[in-house]
């Protein structure tokens, strides 16, 4: 099987291996176990792989470079006009040669691929929509267009569209899916407890950008300190907001209880999940938030915004707490769990039991079924 991947994810090359964002590559390597050849259509950057990048594990990869482009401003749109024809040609040629077409959406490359796949109705296709599939969500027009094309069974044929969450009134080609990070062979997770004099550790894992709203985690920590609670916040990730973070920490004298660790590999993150009590994610939009799912696997009680499939993941509050984005109310909810150890332990146990169902073994089994259809 010649397996075509069309993605906007930026790659880099080192020692004849192709690297990209580690969680994405880790997932794709499972798909690639069951294909003979890989054609990879994506942007390629000139930099050394970072701590959060991994390489594809396949012996036969045909990497076809396309330029990155953006439609977020008038200027970028004008520049993109000159790039898009060449990209369309490359995608069309690759689709013609492929046995199976795999689209990564939403994204600019995904948008072009969504349009072109219409002209290949007999090709077997899978689209992985890694964003928020909620029909009521406010999203850019490019995202809405991709969702409309993928859902339209007249335009889009012979495809399974994998989405996070279960939504009413969906077309037959839409399939609820999930992702996984850990094996069922991992050491058995011990349900977390909170001792009377124990330091309470909060955890944020994600890119330091406006959409992830990482500052809210620091504001929660700050208010908990004002209640004389023994708390600490560990922040894993990097991004353009890091300088503002550092300034805020220094200005508020929080350097002894807020720690910025930058980008770290999976093993370091796993240790952080082990040692933390709560995982915080106040994102404005998500698909399947890996930080929440991974934290729950190791017994962390999640506090997250009610976006995408997050309410389902948290069982509407039974496996964690849905943030109201009202600082006083959210601080009160965390403080209540800190002092009520039995309730905290119940939520930790529920989180472990649920997340333990979404293992790499189950994930790989579902991928095999999709590729065999």
For the record, the structure tokens of 173 come out as 């080609």
pLDDT digits (tens, 9 = 90+) for 310-321: 999 999 999 999
Q: Which of 212, 289, 293, 291 is nearest to 245 (CA)?
A: 212
Query: Could you list the mean pLDDT of each consecutive 10-residue stretch along the chain, which spans 373 residues?
Result: 97 96 95 97 94 94 93 75 92 98 96 97 97 91 95 96 94 95 84 87 96 95 95 96 94 95 93 96 93 96 95 95 97 95 95 94 96 84
For the record, the structure tokens of 197 come out as 């004099």
Q: What is the pLDDT of residue 268?
A: 94
Alpha-carbon distance of 145 to 147, in angstroms, equals: 5
- The CATH number of the domain covering residues in 200-355: 3.40.50.2000
CA torsion, ordered 212, 217, 219, 223, to nearest 10 deg: 160
Domain boundaries, the chain: 2-180+360-372, 200-355
Domain 2-180+360-372 listed as CATH 3.40.50.2000:
yes
Alpha-carbon distance of 123 to 121, in angstroms, equals: 6
Kindly give the pairing relationship between strand 53-55 and strand 278-281: unpaired
Instruction: Indicate left, alpha or beta for 253 from its phi (over 0: left) and psi (-120 to 50: alpha).
Output: left
Eight-state DSSP code of residue 317: G
- Reply yes or no: is the peptide bond before residue 14 cis, omega within 30 of 0: no
Q: What is the pLDDT of residue 306?
A: 95
Eight-state DSSP code of residue 291: H
Q: What is the pLDDT of residue 196?
A: 76
pLDDT digits (tens, 9 = 90+) for 10-32: 999 999 999 999 999 999 999 99
User: Are 72 and 78 a contacting pair, CB within 8 Å?
Assistant: no
What angle (nearest 5°) sits at the alpha carbon of residue 208, between those of residues 338 and 320? Answer: 30
Q: What is the pLDDT of residue 191?
A: 85
The Cα-based distances of 40 to 45, 103, 155 in angstroms read: 14, 11, 24
Write out the H or E segment, with its range, that includes residue 104: strand 100-105
């Amino acid at each position: 099987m010649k397996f075509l991947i069309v993605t906007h994810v930026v790659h880099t090359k080192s020692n004849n291996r192709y690297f990209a964002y580690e969680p994405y590559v880790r997932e794709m390597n499972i798909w690639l176990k069951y294909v003979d050849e890989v054609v990879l259509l994506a942007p390629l950057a000139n930099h050394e792989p970072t701590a959060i990048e991994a390489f594809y594990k396949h012996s036969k990869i045909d990497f076809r470079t396309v330029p990155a482009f953006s439609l977020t401003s008038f200027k970028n749109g004008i520049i993109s006009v000159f790039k898009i024809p060449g990209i369309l040609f490359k995608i069309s040629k690759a689709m013609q040669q492929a046995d199976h077409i795999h689209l990564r959406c939403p994204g600019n490359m995904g948008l072009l691929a969504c349009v072109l796949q219409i002209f290949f109705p007999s090709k077997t296709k899978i689209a992985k929509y890694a964003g928020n599939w909620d029909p009521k969500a406010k999203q850019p027009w490019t995202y809405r267009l991709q969702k409309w094309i993928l859902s339209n069974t007249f335009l889009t044929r012979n495809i399974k569209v994998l989405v996070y969450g279960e939504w009413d009134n969906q077309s037959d080609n839409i399939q609820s899916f999930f992702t996984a990070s850990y094996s069922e062979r991992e050491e058995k997770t011990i349900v977390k407890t909170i001792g009377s004099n124990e330091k309470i550790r909060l955890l944020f894992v994600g890119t330091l950008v406006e959409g992830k709203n990482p500052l809210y985690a620091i504001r929660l920590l700050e208010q908990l300190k004002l209640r004389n609670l023994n708390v600490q916040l560990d922040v894993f990730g990097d991004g353009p907001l890091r300088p503002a973070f550092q300034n805020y920490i220094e200005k508020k004298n929080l350097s002894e209880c807020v720690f910025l660790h930058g980008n770290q590999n999976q093993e370091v993150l796993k240790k952080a999940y082990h040692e933390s009590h709560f995982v915080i994610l106040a994102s404005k939009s998500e698909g399947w938030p890996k930080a929440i799912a991974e934290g729950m696997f190791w017994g962390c009680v999640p506090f997250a915004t009610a976006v995408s499939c997050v309410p389902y993941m948290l069982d509407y509050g039974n496996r964690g707490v849905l943030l109201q984005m009202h600082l006083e109310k959210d601080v009160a909810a965390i403080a209540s769990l800190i002092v009520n150890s039995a309730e905290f332990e119940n939520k930790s146990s529920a989180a472990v039991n649920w997340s333990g169902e979404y293992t790499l073994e189950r994930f790989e089994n579902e991928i095999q079924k999709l590729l065999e259809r």
